[in-house]
Structure formats: C-alpha cells, structure tokens
C-alpha cells in the first residue's frame, strides 16, 4: 500500500491518503508536546514504540469484539487504518486520580476511584480541549444520543479489557484518552493507544511509565516507553 497525499499532520502523527478512499496510512512521529503545545520536544523512537503498542492493543480489542479503525501494520512507524469522520468528542476514562482530576477535586494523586469515571472533552486545539457534558455534545451537534450511548458502552468495555491486559504486565491503567469516528455510519475506535494517551504506573513501585515523564521533566522518557512495550509484547518486539 503506497502513500498518497499527506492529508493531515498532528502533534504525534501524519496521515496520508491511499489509492483506496476508505483506507489511510498513519505515520507515527517522535515529536512530543504537552500543555496544549506549549512544551515541545522529541522522544527517541517514540513513533516506533507507539505504532507497535497501538497495533497490539487494537488487535486485542478487535478480538474482544470492539470495532476499531486498525487494519494492519505496514512498517515500524506506519499502520493502515480505515478512514474515519472523527467525532469531535474525546473520551477520558479514569480509574485512579491523577493529572487534571487531582487538580479539580483536590484528591491526592494515586487515590483509587470506586468505579471507572467517563469524561467528555471538546476536541478543539484552539480552545484547549475543554471538558463538556452530554448536553453540550448534543447541543453542539457533535454526536447523537445513540452515538453517545454507543461510545460510552464501548469505552467501559475497552477499560475492562485494557485493565486486564496491563495488569498481566504489572501495570496499573490509571487513565486514558479515546477517540472515535464514523465509518460508513458505524462508530469505530480510532487514534492510538500508547503511553502518549494513557497513564501507566508500575503496579508495585507506582513509577510513572508514560508521557508524564516528559510533561514533568522526570527523565528516562524513552526508557519508560520501551519498558511498557517490553512488558506488553516481550523483549524481542
């Protein structure tokens, strides 16, 4: 499958057209950003790690009945995906208090939640992706109630599956972001699942193994991504 015209370049990926209008190529970059682009840098080989991890998670989710945009891996940095009309609502699933939830609630970071919490954010770089609720989503015409119900049901199921996978790797799934899109009228899970979009903590030491190491200048960022990949897929991946 050959790359066509570049359709989009985001913070972490480039997206290219293909000869098939239903299929796109995603090329993962090493670029890293935080705080709405105010902090920028590079994480060595991040694109390779995130491509491999995303494919791993998407394949596991597909096997469990979650419809995703993933088709196949093309190279170390590239994957073939189904073209989506992106729903401009990001979903954040939270299992443990961290990041903005700690700031908003005053709860100490690391506090376990009694049940998973789902949050919606308006996907808008210009506005800083503000938190919104279902009423906002419907009023803005971002998604229908049926689509919201589907997205919520899928997100809770994804959470259960990912928690089981990461637990086997000695990782706590603290929280994570999901994005969805429409493909011929069907809601599919899109974007990526990686340390860029998830908070992973070592289950015993609580060491952060995700992009918080970049956000908070904790060091050993590349090593953290590599460690998550090793735990999930083995030492030779």
Rounded to whole angstroms, the Cα distance separating 23 from 84 reads 9
The pairing of strands 198-202 and 186-189 is unpaired
Q: Assess if residue 71 is contained within a domain.
A: yes
What per-residue confidence (pLDDT) applies to 37?
64
Q: Assess if residue 172 is contained within a domain.
A: yes
- Give the tens place of pLDDT for each residue, 72-104: 999 999 999 999 999 999 999 999 999 999 999
**Domain boundary at 56, 82, 108, which?**
82
Q: Are residues 151 and 205 in the same domain?
A: yes
Which of 37 and 25 is assigned the larger pLDDT?
A: 25
Q: Assess if residue 131 is contained within a domain.
A: yes
Tell me how many degrees the CA angle 37-207-191 measures, rounded to the nearest 5. Answer: 40
What's the number of domains the chain is made of? 2
Q: Assess if residue 1 is contained within a domain.
A: no
Q: Are residues 92 and 23 in the same domain?
A: no
**Domain boundary at 37, 58, 82, which?**
82
Rounded to whole angstroms, the Cα distance separating 180 from 168 reads 26
**Domain boundary at 82, 114, 145, which?**
82
Instruction: Name the residue range of residue 150's domain.
Output: 85-233
CATH of the domain at 108: 3.30.470.20
Rounded to whole angstroms, the Cα distance separating 208 from 202 reads 7
Percent of the chain with pLDDT over 90: 89
Q: Are residues 99 and 76 in the same domain?
A: no
Confidence of residue 237 (pLDDT cuts 50, 70, 90): low
Rounded to whole angstroms, the Cα distance separating 149 from 125 reads 25
Q: Does pTM surpass 0.85?
A: yes
Q: Are residues 100 and 208 in the same domain?
A: yes
Query: In the beta sheet, which residues pair with residue 188?
Result: 181
Of how many residues is the chain composed? 237
Q: Are residues 224 and 184 in the same domain?
A: yes
Q: Are residues 120 and 221 in the same domain?
A: yes
Q: Are residues 96 and 196 in the same domain?
A: yes
Q: Helices 145-168 and 46-63 meet at what angle, rounded to 10?
A: 110
Q: Are residues 26 and 75 in the same domain?
A: yes
Q: Are residues 186 and 94 in the same domain?
A: yes
The answer for residues whose C-beta is within 8 angstroms of residue 185's C-beta and 6 or more apart is: none
């Amino acid at each position: 499958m050959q790359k066509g015209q570049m359709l989009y370049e985001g913070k972490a990926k480039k997206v290219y057209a293909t000869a098939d209008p239903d299929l796109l190529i995603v090329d993962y970059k090493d670029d890293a950003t935080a705080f709405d682009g105010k902090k920028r840098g590079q994480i060595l080989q991040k694109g390779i790690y995130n491509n491999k991890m995303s494919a791993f998670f998407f394949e596991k989710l597909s096997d469990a009945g979650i419809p995703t945009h993933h088709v196949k891996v093309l190279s170390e940095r590239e994957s073939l995906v189904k073209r989506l009309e992106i729903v401009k609502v990001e979903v954040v699933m939270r299992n443990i208090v961290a990041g903005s939830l700690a700031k908003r609630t005053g709860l100490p970071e690391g506090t376990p939640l009694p049940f998973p919490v789902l949050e919606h954010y308006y996907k808008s770089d210009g506005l800083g992706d503000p938190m919104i609720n279902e009423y906002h989503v419907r009023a803005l015409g971002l998604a229908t109630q049926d689509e919201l119900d589907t997205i919520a049901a899928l997100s809770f199921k994804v959470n259960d599956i990912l928690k089981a996978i990461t637990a086997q790797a000695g990782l706590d799934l603290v929280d994570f972001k999901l994005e969805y899109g429409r493909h011929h009228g069907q809601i599919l899970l899109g974007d990526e699942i990686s340390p860029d979009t998830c908070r992973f903590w070592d289950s015993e030491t609580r060491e952060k193994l995700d992009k918080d190491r970049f956000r908070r200048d904790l060091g050993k960022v590349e090593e953290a991504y590599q460690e998550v990949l090793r735990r999930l897929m083995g030492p030779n991946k």
